[in-house]
Amino acid sequence: MSSQAQKGACLSLGKETRCMTCSLSSLCLPLSLNLEDIDQLDRIIKRRQPLKKGDHLFRQGDNFDSVYAVRSGSLKNYIMTNDGEEQITNFHLPSELVGLDGVDCSSYPVSSKALETTTVCEIPYSRLQNLAQELPDLRNQIFSSMSKEIRDDKQMMLLLSKKNAEERIATFLANLSSRFKRRGYSAYTFRLPMSRNEIGNYLGLAVETVSRVFTRFQTLQLIAVNGKEVHITDRQQLQQVAGVTECEIEQPSKLIAS
């Protein structure tokens, strides 16, 4: 478990860790920043102590000062409803940026909590802002990340407003599969970092429904599940149930493609 969590982390840990040598840099900095630019970015990034499962990276209402890149582990972001219920708005895997939705607020509009032992790179926003002025590529990268988040959110709205339970879960699994694949893990066998409860919360379904659909998908030979371990037996069929074509699941951005 610990070894799996480390796979996505930087090659050399400790104080000497640099963006330039980080195995994630091609994902969290997909544009071709030149070496000098990377070096500048490197200098403002703080490496933090790992978060333990259940620790908060930040809480809704906390003073907004930094954005974060996940290095290993995973996070859930959630907002609170008036009656104290939580609504999960996102799960974050290694290389993904967290906290950009706080940019124009004095405080974070969501809470972010570790689902397992998790390490992040902290990027103080005020310094990022200064740096963005000098580095057009970096600035575009931030625009790009935000714009991707907006697009993903629209897809999520579609899911929540039009898809039934089976389609939601198929979409969720196919999406996770693509994200793991992109990060060099298997697209077919992976471990869910979140509970059934959290999946249901995120997808707008009751836990029981999540459980039932998992069982149904196993009967249909689409997946094989053992606790949190998932094996996708028929990826194509799963994507068909999801009602999406491959490219919709994780659309490569213009900048990555070029």
Partner DNA sequence: ACAAGTAGTTGAGTTGAATCAAGCTTGCTA
Partner DNA sequence: TAGCAAGCTTGATTCAACTCAACTACTTGT
Between CA 137 and CA 149 the distance in angstroms is: 18
Query: What helix, strand, coil percent values describe the chain, rounded to 5?
Result: 45, 20, 35
DSSP 8-state secondary structure symbol assigned to residue 115: S
CB of 89 to DNA, least distance (A): 17
Instruction: Please name which of 141, 122, 118 lies closest in space to residue 43, comparing C-alpha atoms.
Output: 122
Interacting residues with its own copies (CB under 8 A): 79, 81-83, 85, 87, 89, 100-106, 109-110, 129, 132-133, 136, 139-140, 142-151, 153-158, 160-162, 201-204, 243-245, 251, 253-255
Query: What does 165 interact with, of DNA, its own copies, none (CB < 5 to 8 A by kind)?
Result: DNA
Between CA 173 and CA 194 the distance in angstroms is: 12
Determine if 214 is a binding residue for DNA (CB under 7 A). Answer: yes
Query: What does 208 interact with, of DNA, its own copies, none (CB < 5 to 8 A by kind)?
Result: DNA
Q: Which is nearer to its own copies, 9 or 168 (CB)?
A: 168
| Sheet with 75-80: strands ordered across | 56-58, 111-114, 75-80, 86-92
Binding string, residues 155-184; x marks residues near DNA by CB under 7 A:
---------xxx------------------
Between CA 98 and CA 105 the distance in angstroms is: 15
Compute φ and ψ for 126, nearest 5 degrees: -60, -40
**Which region, judged by CB under 7 A, interacts with DNA, from 14-22, 130-138, 222-230, 233-241?**
222-230
**Which region, judged by CB under 7 A, interacts with DNA, from 44-52, 61-69, 83-91, 220-228?**
220-228
Kindly list the residues in this chain that would bind DNA in the complex (CB under 7 A).
164-166, 195-197, 204-212, 214-215, 225, 227-228
